[in-house]
Amino acid sequence: MSQLDIKIGPKIKAFRRQLGLQANKLSEDLGISPSYLNLIESGKRKIDGDLLLKVCEKLNIQLSDLTSKSDINLENTISEILDDKLFEDLDILGPEVKDLVGTNPKIGRALVRLGDILKKKDHELIDKIEKISGKIVDNRKNSFPGEVISDFLQQHKNYFPKLEEFANKVFDKIQKNNRTRYIALCEYLNKEYSITVKDILPEEGKPFSKIYNKSKKELLLSDYSSLETKKLHAAAQIAQEGAMKDIDIYLSKFSFPSDESKKLTKVALLNYCGAAILMPYKPFHAECKKLKYDLELLQNTFATSFEQVAHRVTCLQDPKLPGIPFHMLRVDMAGNISKRFSLSGIDIPRYGGACPRWNVYSAFTRPGVIQAAVSKMTNGEKYVCIARTVEKGVGRFGQSKSILSIGLGCDAKYAKDFVYTENINVSDKTTEIPIGVSCRTCDRLDCPQRAFPPLHKKFDVDINSRGVSVYVNDKSS
């Protein structure tokens, strides 16, 4: 029996349970015995093509939901958790993690939730110690506080049909010259919801981006913000007034570990809907196809920012009108990942920095310039990745801005539809950049940038010899 057959069964069981469908009812609908269905769901029996299609029909799912790579990042995230000294003596190997994710992804996600709690408690304890002692004890407090947002978006493949429908209706009412203008958004807020938009200069020492005064029906937007940012805030306010019911329904179907994470996710959905108003699905999809996802040309067409466009191309997951499945991440110069999402299949670390050989980091050496590369993972999978820095912050003279790097990429099989591969020979192995996910989970022993020993590989230190890294020598292999 193939590994694929073993993994499909538990997925069928998971989808069936999500629908609240009893096993005996599904087996009856499929024309098989309950015991045979049980063997399939436990991964002990193969399932033929016709029966598989019938299962998809009864469960109202796509074949790709069962056969495609699922739970992207889950294996790597669990490996990160198990890297903790707490589990050091258990010697859990990569194949064991892979088997767990393949057969029991829910248990895997439960471990991730426990890992999040462990990391949070660890950070809280260190915070208290530092406050009492007045000294910095640990630098592990850089993990992204909104991991749950990524989990939520990943579960929905970053596509929310109801919000797209709402955005299309709004755009149809306010479009002018095939682009959404700031003044049109402000007029719509005033006409539909009696909300007045005011651009004001923040008081000295009291910076802000937006303030909505519900009692006065006023939306105050900082004049230090760019026009693109103001437009997104105005569009997100429209979503807050008109699409909150749909947003609450999406949120109600996800188990949030805290009220804070739920509020952060609500903000993410408001911004998603706002971006959909600025870049409505069908026109945006058409331009993406025509321009081969040239992000700077898309910026000009829809008068939005580079980061907004990069976000939006990851949302084109309508089964009837799909775009390229991308991954996206945003990092700062210290290596902290503040945004991450992957439909391309590439793994993005949850608790620490990614591989330093990713071009999302080298982009800082050439600010404002899009850098493209063919990245090859340790498992042989290849991705076309681009990266560019963006500036964030106030636009006032004399005020410094923060610099972030945006990374976007897709599986190499989509190279012909991605403009950034026009000057790259994707099939030329000499142009490939070997990368990993992170040092602790990467098995490459020839990497001079290795900062930590590879997980699950014993290493020894020989004072008389050294490989490309102090953590790599002949005894490591």
Tell me the HSE value of 300 on the side-chain side, using a 13 A CA sphere. Answer: 5
The rounded mean pLDDT for the chain is 82
Is a pLDDT exceeding 60 seen at residue 5? no
Task: Determine the average pLDDT of the residues in 349-360.
Answer: 78
In this prediction, residue 384 carries a pLDDT of 94
In this prediction, residue 467 carries a pLDDT of 66
Is residue 152 in a domain?
Answer: no
- For 128-162, the pLDDT digits (tens) are 654 565 554 444 433 344 678 888 998 899 999 99
For residue 270, the enclosing domain spans 161-318
Is residue 239 in a domain?
Answer: yes
For the ranges 76-90, 193-207, 209-223, 302-316, the lowest mean pLDDT is seen at: 76-90
Q: Is the pLDDT higher at 416 or at 150?
A: 416
CATH of the domain at 21: 1.10.260.40
Tokens of residue 13, six digits: 């069981």
Looking only at the bridges linking them, the beta strands covering 218-222 and 196-200 are parallel
- The Cα–Cα gap between 76 and 99 comes to 13
Is a pLDDT exceeding 70 seen at residue 274? yes
Q: Is the pLDDT higher at 177 or at 216?
A: 216
Cβ distance 257 to 238 under 8 Å? no
Dihedral of CA 385/388/393/399: which sign?
positive
- 399 shares a domain with 332: yes
pLDDT band at 49 (very low <50, low <70, confident <90, very high): confident
Residue ranges of E strands in 261-322? 317-318, 321-322
Is a pLDDT exceeding 80 seen at residue 82? no
Is a pLDDT exceeding 90 seen at residue 215? yes
- The Cα–Cα gap between 33 and 38 comes to 9
- 248 shares a domain with 125: no
Tokens of residue 266, six digits: 């609500």
How many percent of the chain have pLDDT more than 70? 80
- The Cα–Cα gap between 231 and 248 comes to 23
Top-confidence range, 70-79, 117-126, 222-231: 222-231
- The Cα–Cα gap between 67 and 300 comes to 38
DSSP assignment of 371-418 equals: EEEEEE-TTS-EEEEEEEEEEES--STT---EEEEEEEEEEGGGGGG-
In this prediction, residue 176 carries a pLDDT of 65
Cβ distance 418 to 324 under 8 Å? yes
Is residue 231 in a domain?
Answer: yes
Is residue 148 in a domain?
Answer: no
- The Cα–Cα gap between 296 and 283 comes to 16
- Integer distance in angstroms from the first to the last C-alpha of the chain? 31
Is residue 153 in a domain?
Answer: no
CATH of the domain at 350: 3.30.450
In this prediction, residue 64 carries a pLDDT of 67
Cβ distance 207 to 222 under 8 Å? yes
Task: Determine the average pLDDT of the residues in 459-477.
Answer: 62
- 127 shares a domain with 221: no
Cβ distance 236 to 273 under 8 Å? yes
- 303 shares a domain with 221: yes
- 426 shares a domain with 405: yes
In this prediction, residue 155 carries a pLDDT of 86
Measure Cα distances from 446 to 95, 148, 204 in Å: 22, 34, 53
Helix axis angle, 227-242 relative to 244-252, nearest 10°? 80
For the ranges 86-90, 322-326, 411-415, the lowest mean pLDDT is seen at: 86-90
- For 84-136, the pLDDT digits (tens) are 666 766 666 666 777 777 667 778 778 877 877 776 666 566 556 545 655 54
Q: How many domains does the chain have?
A: 5
- 81 shares a domain with 49: no
Cβ distance 413 to 369 under 8 Å? no
- For 376-386, the pLDDT digits (tens) are 888 788 999 99
Residue where a domain terminates, one of 107, 141, 175: 141
- 448 shares a domain with 419: no
SS3 assignment, position 472: strand
Dihedral of CA 203/207/209/213: which sign?
negative
Q: Is the pLDDT higher at 348 or at 313?
A: 313
- 396 shares a domain with 269: no
Is residue 46 in a domain?
Answer: yes
SS3 assignment, position 133: helix
Residue where a domain terminates, one of 318, 339, 373: 318
- 312 shares a domain with 331: no
- 393 shares a domain with 339: yes
- 412 shares a domain with 299: no
In this prediction, residue 1 carries a pLDDT of 44
- The Cα–Cα gap between 451 and 453 comes to 7
Tokens of residue 157, six digits: 């493949």
Task: Determine the average pLDDT of the residues in 293-318.
Answer: 96
Is residue 150 in a domain?
Answer: no
- 455 shares a domain with 427: no
Residue where a domain terminates, one of 51, 67, 83: 67
Is residue 134 in a domain?
Answer: yes
